[in-house]
A and B are shown apart, each in its own frame.
Chain A
């Protein structure tokens, strides 16, 4: 009983409960049909949200005002870079992935350069960067019709006993991210900066370097996400990352990470990612129109954040 209570006190448990309830509601509607297939599909789609969600989580944990608005543009450009470098050739998969990773990391580093050099809030810096990246992508990716190499496309769809391999790899990655956050100097520094940037600086944390690393990391994750999305959806696209601006912020907040910074939660990102994907599946299964689906998605996000409530931001 006591263990149940400690479980319920964890902020991330609610996102998993939400995902479970939505799943139950859907299979109740279909009469149990497609229950397993739905989980497989949810896992393979949630992966993309989780990867950028973890990056966004590290950035948001840095404190109030820290958020990466350039992720959608970043994902779009990286997807085009990956497809161009791979050029449909199986031998070039690794090179393409590294190119996408490097493209994303460069964008993240550029974001921090703007924040540092212009001393402007990260929202404005990543916003202006995203304007420029978007244009580069439109110009670079125009009429890009390169299919991903067959080996790469298969890889993003591989399954073992109904569990997507990509989802397993992402679980390994998130365990690593959680360890980095809670057990490594880098992660503890991110949390310390989010709690009180001045105290962290006085305590000897290299604030500039940690923030630089965090933005670069978030950018790199956006880059790799772009490549994987292009593989999964069979091609790059300027708009491929559009939905990940809301999704990346939403999974962080629904997952129990504090928007005021200084408190992060990796398991919650998974729960919230599954919740969002299953929610969409549920609304599709119920056969609602696109307009109703958008309205309900928005209302549920506002409802969840209202129920979770905000904490007093320490300013």
Chain B
């Protein structure tokens, strides 16, 4: 038994008192609070950024990040980790900017095939009981290699329908905010409110119990990985819709960003404890804090990555403080 599972057990034991309930409440609100804090800081530093146009600009890149974070969340729900999601997003981007525009049927077939590869990986990892970290690290080379083969030099062009979709300007509420709401709601209903969603999360929470109840763990693993592939594809397409052209290395940073987003959003590594709404909020926080906030604070872009790390540490530290009260 690992120290972490011991800890979850301790937490699960009935802790009496209203203070504990308040602490639990605070803990679930933590992702939203961190986002609010970052937004407040931006509003204070540059009030003009808090506008329709400002949000559209600041949050544009948050859409692909949020989709990649959701992708990562599915594997984490099954106690696995995908270290290849970044290069996969890059691969999808290269396919989108070339085949999906020039030969849409080939493009669609390749993208569906890549989701199939993800499903196969899930099956392989389950059947041979392989460490997902190593398998996906290996796959990250495969996706990157394929991306370079498809698009040796940066270029290509996004399909027109995708460009107009990502440039959509709805009245009153900026598009990225609507997109984030839609993504969060759809995944929340699917994973948290349906019976098979419970089974999927249960495969990470207590696999042995599920197996005894007659559920196929092979199937849950395949479904979780296929969903990761699906959202990876959506992320890559959204990214190319914004950047208009592709580059084989375009998604490399997404691997670490997506893991950070899931954890920021209240997800945990073991036990199938994840939160789709939290994950989307986590992705928005990272997207806002990484560049607009730093720019307004006149901090050089060198420290962009460090800001992500610092936010992660601060939020995790806050979580520890709250958890202590929960006892």
Asked whether B5 lies within 8 Å of A301 as measured between CB atoms, the reply is no
The verdict on A246 contacting chain B, using a C-beta distance below 8 Å, is: yes
Contact across chains for A295 and B141 when beta carbons are under 8 A apart? yes
Judge whether B113 is part of the interface by a CB distance below 8 angstroms.
Answer: no
Q: Whole-angstrom distance between the alpha carbons of A117 and B319 in the complex?
A: 11
Chain A min CB distance to B253 (Å): 10
User: Is A309's beta carbon under 8 Å from chain B?
Assistant: yes
Chain B residues with CB below 8 A from A67, complex form: 133
The A/B interface has a contact count, at CB < 8 Å, of 164
Asked if B303 lies at the interface with its beta carbon under 8 angstroms from chain A, I say yes
| Contact A299–B142 (Cβ < 8 Å) | yes
B309 located at the interface, meaning its Cβ lies under 8 Å from any Cβ of chain A in the complex: yes
Q: What chain B residues lie within 8 Å of A139 (beta carbons)?
A: 300, 302-303
Q: Which of A64, A114, A259, A299 contacts B313 (CB 8 A)?
A: A114
Q: Assess the A132–B309 pair: CB atoms within 8 A.
A: yes
Whether, in the assembled complex, B104 has its beta carbon less than 8 Å from a beta carbon of chain A, the answer is no
Residues of chain B contacted by A245 (CB below 8 angstroms): 137
Tell yes or no: B316 within 8 A of A by CB: yes
| In the complex with contacts A127-B256, A298-B140, A135-B306 CB distance below 8 A | yes
> How long is the Cα–Cα vector from A118 to B302 in the complex, in angstroms?
26
Is there a chain B Cβ closer than 8 Å to A129's Cβ? yes
Chain B neighbourhood of A183, CB < 8 A: none
Instruction: Judge whether B190 is part of the interface by a CB distance below 8 angstroms.
Output: no
Q: Is B152 an interface position by the 8 A CB rule?
A: yes
Q: Are B134 and A64 in contact (CB under 8 A)?
A: no
Do residues A309 and B130 form an inter-chain contact, with CB atoms below 8 A?
yes
Q: How many Å lie between the Cα of A296 and that of B309 in the bound state? A: 33
Given contacts A127-B260, A295-B141, A298-B145, contact A198 B128 (CB under 8 A): no
CA distance A310 to B2 in the complex (A): 19
Beta-carbon contacts under 8 Å, B1-23 to A: 1-7
Chain B CB within 8 A of A11 CB: no
Q: Are A294 and B2 in contact (CB under 8 A)?
A: no
Say whether A299 contacts B310, CB under 8 Å: no
Q: Point out the residues of chain B lying under 8 angstroms from A63, CB to CB.
A: 2
Q: Is the CB of A293 within 8 A of B138?
A: no
The answer to the question of B32 belonging to the interface, with a C-beta cut-off of 8 Å to chain A, is: no
Distance of A121 Cα from B81 Cα, bound (Å): 13
What's the Cα separation between A123 and B270 when bound, in Å? 12
Whether A5 is near chain B, meaning CB under 8 Å from some CB there, is no
Identify which of B134, B135, B148, B309 contacts A290 (C-beta below 8 A).
B148
Q: Within the complex, what minimum Cβ distance (angstroms) separates B31 from chain A?
A: 15
B63 at the interface (CB under 8 A from A): no
Given contacts A65-B269, A294-B145, A309-B129, contact A135 B137 (CB under 8 A): no
The answer to whether B312 and A128 have CB atoms under 8 Å apart is: yes
The interface residues of chain A lying within 8 Å CB-to-CB of B137 are: 245-246, 249-250, 301
Q: Report if B28 contacts A (CB, 8 A).
A: no
A209 CB within 8 Å of chain B: no
- B317 & A118 in contact (Cβ 8 Å cutoff): yes
Interface size class on chain B is 35 or more
A253 close to B4 (CB less than 8 A): no
Q: Are B152's CB and A306's CB within 8 A?
A: no
Interface: A3 (CB within 8 A) = no
Whether A310 and B128, one on each chain, are in contact in the complex, defined by CB atoms closer than 8 angstroms, is yes
Closest to B303 in A: A135
> Do B128 and A65 have beta carbons less than 8 Å apart?
no
Q: Does A180 contact B (CB under 8 A)?
A: no
Q: How far is the CA of A305 from the CA of B308 in the complex (A)?
A: 32
Q: Residue A130 at the B interface, CB < 8 A?
A: yes
B81, B300, B308, B312 interface centre (most CB from chain A within 10 Å): B312
- Does B144 lie at the interface of the complex (its beta carbon under 8 Å from any beta carbon of A)? yes
Nearest-CB distance from B91 to chain A (Å)?
11
In the assembled complex, B146 has its CB within 8 A of some CB on chain A: yes
CB neighbours (8 Å) of B305 from chain A are: 131-132, 134-135, 138
Is A292 close to B, CB under 8 A? yes
Interface string of A226-256 (1 = CB under 8 A from B): 0000000000000000000110011001000
Q: Which residue of B lies closest to A300 (CB)?
A: B138
Question: Would you call B243 an interface residue if the criterion is a C-beta within 8 Å of the partner chain's C-beta atoms?
Answer: no
Q: Are B129 and A249 in contact (CB under 8 A)?
A: no
* Cα-based distance from A250 to B147 in the complex (angstroms): 22
Cα-based distance from A127 to B261 in the complex (angstroms)? 12
Q: How far is the CA of A30 from the CA of B130 in the complex (A)?
A: 36
Across the interface, which residues of A come within 8 angstroms of B148, CB to CB? Answer: 289-291, 294
**B320 interface residue (CB < 8 Å to A):** yes
| A117 to B316 CA separation, bound complex (whole angstroms) | 10
Beyond A124-B263, A299-B142, A310-B128, whether A259 also contacts B134 by CB under 8 A is: yes
Contact of A302 among B138, B149, B259, B312 (CB under 8 A): B138
Say yes or no: B133 contacts A315, CB within 8 Å. Answer: no
Q: A253-B134, A301-B134 are in contact. List 12 more A-B contacts (CB 8 A).
A: A65-B270, A124-B312, A128-B308, A128-B312, A128-B316, A129-B309, A197-B2, A249-B133, A292-B149, A295-B145, A298-B140, A313-B129
Residue contacts A-B, CB under 8 angstroms, 26 given: A65-B4, A118-B313, A118-B319, A118-B320, A121-B270, A129-B309, A131-B308, A132-B309, A135-B309, A197-B1, A198-B1, A250-B134, A290-B148, A291-B145, A291-B146, A291-B148, A295-B142, A295-B146, A298-B138, A298-B142, A302-B138, A305-B131, A305-B135, A306-B124, A309-B130, A310-B130
